[in-house]
A = this chain, B = another copy of it.
């Protein structure tokens, strides 16, 4: 029987300190052990000074979650640092899945601290693209069959959802965004406004507005969030607005 600690899976938001919640800061301060991807830990180095810090490379999500749970099973208070919101495609799921695999008597407490996700950040910088129903789809087919991603893209387009595309491109993933555009174009006009946000709230931030027809040619990488408007979305002064009907209603 081990003395049981706690794992806090902490969302630090897009990166800019003013968008990290006080709760995330307070809980980080309370943690004895910090685990995270080295790139994110660098953003909060001043908040973790003097703590046992484990910086693991990108791609080692399972290793980070396992390390955090091991430390908590020794009775320690552990913080797993996640950029954005750990609940949205983030570390919360990885930690909970591994927790499920542990013997019941040996499971530390796991708590999730929400943060601003890339979805919230990109939407704010674009104005109000998410004023109505939307679907969030990752274009990464590393762990998800591409056929399922296609099915989701077509369904979201057919039902006139605003579509948020995460992980639209990487060095290895080059053709998926073009194919996604083709699928959405089957159901939506080429003039549909599209917002492209790269490195939201970071020093290299870039916000661009284009159209669905032009999207495949746009500068997009793995730090980019793409928001494709629905049939009602308007572009105005380089912003996107998806009306909910409030302004026009009698």
Q: What is the oligomeric copy number?
A: 2
Q: Is the CB of B152 within 8 A of A133?
A: yes
**Chain A contact surface mostly:** mixed
Q: A97 interface residue, CB < 8 Å from B? A: yes
Interchain CB contact (< 8 A) of A152 among B13, B18, B97, B161: B161
| Chain B residues closer than 8 Å to A34, beta-carbon distance | none
Q: Beta-carbon contacts of A87-123 to B below 8 Å, as 1s and 0s?
A: 1111011111110110000010010111111001101
Q: Which residue of B lies closest to A236 (CB)?
A: B100
Per the 8 Å Cβ criterion, residues 134-150 of A in contact with B are 134-138, 143-144, 148-149
> A155 touches which one: B11, B61, B125, B159 (CB < 8 A)?
B159
A23 — which chain B residues lie within 8 A by C-beta? 16, 18-19
Asked if A239 is an interface residue, CB under 8 A from chain B, the answer is yes
Contact B133 A136 (CB under 8 A): yes
- A143 touching B246 in the complex, CB below 8 Å, given contacts A87-B123, A156-B135: yes
A22 in contact with B26 (CB, 8 Å): no
A141 to B241, CA, bound (A): 20
B249 engages A143 (CB within 8 Å): yes
Instruction: Report if A62 contacts B (CB, 8 A).
Output: yes
Also in contact, A89 and B247, with CB within 8 A (given A18-B23, A22-B17, A114-B116):
no
Would A120 and B114 be within 8 Å (CB), given that A23-B18, A100-B234, A242-B93 are in contact? yes
Residues of chain A touching chain B, judged by Cβ–Cβ distance below 8 Å, are 11, 13, 16-23, 26, 61-62, 85-90, 92-98, 100-101, 107, 110, 112-117, 120-121, 123-125, 127-138, 143-144, 148-149, 151-152, 154-156, 158-161, 234, 236-237, 239, 241-247, 249
List 21 A–B pairs whose Cβ atoms lie within 8 Å, in order of A's numbering: A21-B116, A61-B246, A62-B247, A87-B123, A87-B131, A88-B120, A88-B123, A89-B130, A92-B131, A93-B127, A98-B247, A112-B128, A114-B120, A116-B120, A117-B120, A120-B120, A135-B156, A136-B136, A143-B244, A143-B249, A155-B155
